[in-house]
Amino acid sequence: MESRTRRRHHRDELRQTILDAAVELIETHGGGFTIRLLADRIGYSPRTVYLYYENKDTLLDAVVDRVFTQTLESLDSAESAGTSLEALLSSQIERHMRNALNRPRLYRAVVERLASGSYEPVPADERLRERTAILLAGGVGDRLAGHPRDVAEVFLAALRGATTRLIGRSTGLPNDDADRTIHIFTRMTLRGLL
């Protein structure tokens, strides 16, 4: 029984090692890395990677899930502070955009995966959409021009679009311009929602 637990622990660790290496490669090479390059980085054969992730899309889905899980964790910390709806939405927008500015290649890879025809929402993506819908319904549900889930989809799409535009301009963009862009987008979004 103990050796089975050890093997499972080793498998879980190797799965995380592969995922960590994929994130590192995305941050240095963008989403165009190969499974062979990833396997070389971790010292295993490509076949080993395929034992854990069926194909590159499955691996990228795991990266998306990790990124959205981190987003949800940051929302948890903001919500536990007991702040207003306006403060929570402002925080969500700012954290989203700042994280993208800090890790633009990772952000681009996530957005490209979301836009791919073969993407099926990962669990954390579904939780983020639902969480945003609940947040909106609880704060402004009576004034929403549609179902909270639909409004959440529009909000997240607008946020991703504005963020993609921001990181596209970010090379050579002074910090105060990024701050200004984030501030303007936040103000306009909150004005539209609240």
Q: Quick check: 37 pLDDT over 90?
A: yes
What is the reported pTM?
0.83
pLDDT, tens only, 119-135: 888 899 898 888 888 88
Q: Are residues 62 and 22 in the same domain?
A: no
Q: Looking at this protein, which amino acid is placed at residue 14?
A: L
Once rounded to an integer, what is the mean pLDDT over residues 127-150? Answer: 77
Range of the domain at 8: 1-53
| Token digits of residue 179 | 């701050």
Q: Are residues 48 and 85 in the same domain?
A: no
Once rounded to an integer, what is the mean pLDDT over residues 23-32? Answer: 92
- The structural domain count of the chain equals 2
Q: Quick check: 141 pLDDT over 80?
A: no
What separation in angstroms does the CA of 117 have from each of 57, 83, 114, 120, 161?
11, 37, 8, 9, 18
Q: Are residues 93 and 154 in the same domain?
A: yes
CATH of the domain at 154: 1.10.357.10
**pLDDT at residue 1, rounded to an integer:** 56
Once rounded to an integer, what is the mean pLDDT over residues 165-173? Answer: 71
Q: Looking at this protein, which amino acid is placed at residue 39?
A: A
Q: Are residues 46 and 61 in the same domain?
A: no
pLDDT, tens only, 62-107: 999 999 998 888 777 766 666 677 888 888 888 889 889 999 999 9
